[in-house]
Amino acid sequence: MKTQPIAPAHIDWGTGPDAVPRSPLYDDVYHPQAGALTQARHVFLQGNGLPQRWAGRAAFTVLETGFGLGHNFLATWDAWRRDPARCERLFFVSIDRHPPTAADLQRAHAAFPLPELAQTLQQAWPPLTPNLHLLPFEGGRVQLLLALGDIAALLPALRLRADAFFLDGFAPARNPAMWQPRVMKALAALAAPGATLATWSAASALRADLATAGFVPRLAPGTGGKREITLADWAPRFTPRRPPSAAVAGREALVVGAGLAGAAAAQALARLGWRVTVFDRHAAPAAETSGNPAGLFHGTVNADDGPYARLFRSAALLARAEYAAAIATGRVPGRTDGLLRLVQDEGGLAAMQALLQRLRLPRDYVDALPADAAAARAGVPLAHPAWHYPGGGWVAPSAWAQHALNEPGVRFVGGAEVGSLTRPGDAWQLHDTAGRVLAQAPTLVLANAATAAQLLAPLGHAPWPLRHSRGQVTHWAGATALQLPVAGDGYAIPMRGPATTEGLLCGATREAVEPATTGDAPALRDEDHVHNLRRLQRLTGLQPPADAALWRGRAGWRLHSDDRLPIAGALPCARMPAGQRLDQARLLPRENGLFVLTALGARGLTLAPLLARLVAAQASGTPWPLEQDLADAVDPARWLVRAARAAPSGRRTQPCSLQPAG
């Protein structure tokens, strides 16, 4: 989908004790004088039968049009907290084109009756960049998925089933774009069976549009000076056709691989209440490339703000929150207070600033700094301007992987090499290299790099176009003048912070290799140390210890796809039904309970938390944290889709069982 820059809300706060915040753009108030909490509880909670309707459920999803100042979310969160019969997990998805700034949010909540929740929301408030922002609370049991942008573009891109709708945009006469008939139809396309809807608007045209979209509307008494409001039940005259779901019955999963990908997948599933067992051929987690002493995470900027930039932006923002929480435990080394990426392109600083002005990305996500300002932040002389990512940083991958595997509900089994997969009934079975059954469960996630494709081949799955590269890092202990990680031609990481022995890491080499040459960790090379240190000197001017005996290093294999995007999601059927349309990934049937998370390349720390949550959302049937087109971009079926689109008909016919072969 095409993104648009986000223009924050302009709010007129008024004067006097009875003033309420107002939008000059829409010439309407954010809430009545009776108070936002009163409106939220009467119209949206009571109007949707809450909290009674979520009682005893594993998950409940609310979809709101118009986040405004967050009062409805806070009221719903408060009702969930106070309800002893609450659902296990609450998902609140809210769309807004003009969200408040952090400062305005704080001002709006200054006298709000739920100060603890309001402050927690303010602390988690993200940079106002387009598209989806996942904000987890209560250990992941309450999740706010904030969708920033145009509602007509965002609704078709969401993958969720809403149990309740809160329609809370400004008045239809003041903000007609949010109340168009096509918006009501798009909402209906996301309705779960038994869904309800509530809005303070009583406009007859709105009720007619809701009825056309499949809702049964009715008027109900209002509150706070509003005589009537509109409530509705989802009761379509026919069952709408929707994309197939990859959700799995039961909440038990096996994960193969205990590196970054596998640990993140296990953590994401466990936070949804699943029991997860992780298998790895090594005795300890993160024993391969994920075991490097430190690694970087940050977003990216490109001219068209295309899928690559959007994916890494969403991933980096979530990664910062995840790693900051892990570092705060005192057991995971790392820092999340910024990163510099030097730019040597023609045009330099002027071109960078022009790009930022056109994209209108906020400075709390990325800024363009001249060389002297970048050097002041880095603490060392720098020869080029730099992108400054305030939320970027570094973390120790192995320590974080162990932290993720310590999530309640996760069990790690080391020294267990998986040799084959079968699915004789309703569960996937893992077999060791001698053919003995290791374990079975309805859901299986393959997060074991290139070995995932090898395990899938006997089931009839075509191999993905994967490439391998060898990488080596160099590091040593001791004080360093470098204050922030610096990347560009290579990178340098000052390893200081909680649980950290001070030192510096630099690298990494990149050498394409044939898959046949990969295996156990490759041996270190002196010439690669020299290569890394020369790049370090060019990048930062820093000198390594004169005694080469103090240099340490680590080498490993990276895996990436031919399009440099990761592979994440439900596996398409190895054999498709006759006449199955293949040119859209969202329409493809999927192997029951089989998922993959691999080919994260050199950006695993940035990508792993978000893509693991995508896999977990698909498996559990909860709201996806990525828009459909971004999920398509990383889909394991994307090469099948590309081949179909290149073919004359876009179709393939052949017999197929939806069960995997063998």
Write down the domain spans for the chain. 22-234, 253-333+397-432+441-465+562-662, 339-390, 466-561
For the chain, the straight-line distance linking the first and the last C-alpha, in angstroms and rounded, comes to: 39
Query: Tens digit of pLDDT for each residue in 576-617?
Result: 999 899 999 999 999 999 999 999 999 999 999 999 999 999
Per-residue pLDDT at 32: 83
CA distances from 169 to 105, 113, 126, 586, 615 (A): 17, 22, 21, 29, 32
Residue 109 in this model has a pLDDT that exceeds 80: yes
How buried is residue 438: exposed, middle or buried, by Cβ count under 10 Å (0-12/13-18/19+)?
middle
Distance CA 275, CA 476 (A): 39
Q: Which two tokens stand for residue 74?
A: 């806070």
Query: Do 524 and 531 meet the contact criterion of CB atoms below 8 Å apart?
Result: no
Q: What average pLDDT does range 123-134 have in this prediction?
A: 97
* Least confident stretch, 149-153, 509-513, 521-525: 521-525
CB atoms within 10 A of CB 123: 9
Distance separating alpha carbons of residues 271 and 141, to the nearest angstrom: 7
AA identity, residue 528: D
CATH class for domain 22-234? alpha beta
pLDDT in tens, 209-257: 999 999 999 999 998 778 899 999 999 998 888 899 999 999 999 999 9
Whether residue 293 contacts residue 473, with contact meaning beta carbons closer than 8 Å, is answered with yes
Segment 30-82, tens digit of pLDDT:
988 778 999 999 999 999 999 999 999 999 999 999 999 999 999 999 999 99
User: For a pLDDT cut of 70, what percent of the chain falls above it?
Assistant: 97
CATH of domain 253-333+397-432+441-465+562-662: 3.50.50.60
Model pLDDT, residue 33:
76
* CA dist., res. 426 & res. 592, Å (int): 9
How much is the average pLDDT of 314-328? 97
Contacts of 240 (CB under 8 A, 6+ apart): 188, 189, 214
Res 497: pLDDT? 73
Contact 53, 197 (CB under 8 A): no
Split at pLDDT 50, 70, 90, the class of 289 is confident
Structure tokens at 270: 């466990």
**Does residue 409 have a pLDDT over 90?**
yes
The answer to whether 220 touches 47, Cβ cutoff 8 Å, is yes
The label of the residue with tokens 């799955």 reads 461
The pLDDT of residue 101 is 97
The Cα 662–Cα 423 span in angstroms is 8
Helices (H), 139-272: 151-154, 181-188, 204-213, 260-270
CA 166 remoteness from chain centre? 24
Residue 470's pLDDT is: 93
* Integer angstrom CA distances of residue 109 from 28, 39, 98, 307, 566: 19, 15, 17, 35, 40
Res 434: pLDDT = 96
Check pLDDT > 90 for residue 661: no
Structure tokens at 117: 């929740």
Is the pLDDT confidence value at 501 over 80? no
**Residue of 461, 622, 638, 467 lying closest to 567 (CA atoms):** 638
Conformation bin of residue 250: beta by default, left when phi > 0, alpha when psi is -120 to 50: left
Indicate if the pLDDT at residue 650 is higher than 50: no
Measure the CA–CA gap between 151 and 164, rounded to whole angstroms: 17
- Is the pLDDT at 656 greater than 50? The verdict is no
- What pLDDT is attached to residue 660? 34
The answer to whether 254 and 443 have CB atoms below 8 angstroms apart is yes
Say whether pLDDT at 520 is over 80. Answer: no
Task: Indicate if the pLDDT at residue 265 is higher than 80.
Answer: yes
Could you count the other beta carbons within 10 Å of the beta carbon of residue 45? 22
pLDDT of residue 102: 97
pLDDT at residue number 516:
61
Report whether pLDDT(186) > 60: yes
Closest CA to 172 of 146, 147, 221, 209: 209
Helix 397-405 to helix 260-270 angle (10° resolution) is 30
Q: What integer pLDDT is reported at residue 649 of this predicted model?
A: 61
Complete DSSP assignment for 142-187:
EEEEEEES-HHHHGGG----EEEEEE-SSPTTT-GGGG-HHHHHHH
Proportion of the chain above pLDDT 90, given as a percent = 88
Residue 662 has pLDDT above 80, yes or no: no
Q: What is the pLDDT of residue 517?
A: 64
- Topology of domain 466-561 in CATH is D-Amino Acid Oxidase; Chain A, domain 2 (3.30.9)
Exposure b/e, 206-240, CB count within 10 A at least 16 = b: bbebbeebbbebeeeebbeebeebbbbbbeeeeee
> Which residues, listed in sequence order, are joined to residue 446 by a DSSP beta bridge?
256, 596
Token pair belonging to 558: 């990276």
For the chain, the average pLDDT equals 94
The whole-number average pLDDT for the span 307-332 is 97
Peptide bond into 487 cis (omega under 30): no
Overall pTM surpassing 0.85 (yes/no):
yes
For tokens 């009467």, the residue is 42
Residue 96 confidence (pLDDT): 97
CA 230 from centroid of its chain's CA atoms: 34
Nearest-angstrom CA–CA distance, 152 and 329: 41
Longest dimension (CA), the chain: 81
* Per-residue model confidence (pLDDT) at position 17: 77
374's CB contacts (< 8 A; 6+ apart) are: 340, 342, 382, 384, 385, 386, 388
Q: DSSP E strands: which ranges in 590-647?
A: 590-598
CB–CB of 483/494 below 8 Å?
Answer: yes
Token output for 420? 């084959």
What is the tally of helices (H) and strands (E) in the chain? Answer: 17, 31
DSSP result, 183-221: HHHHHHTTEEEEEEEEES---HHHHHHHHHHTEEEEEEE
pLDDT computed for residue 151 by the predictor = 96
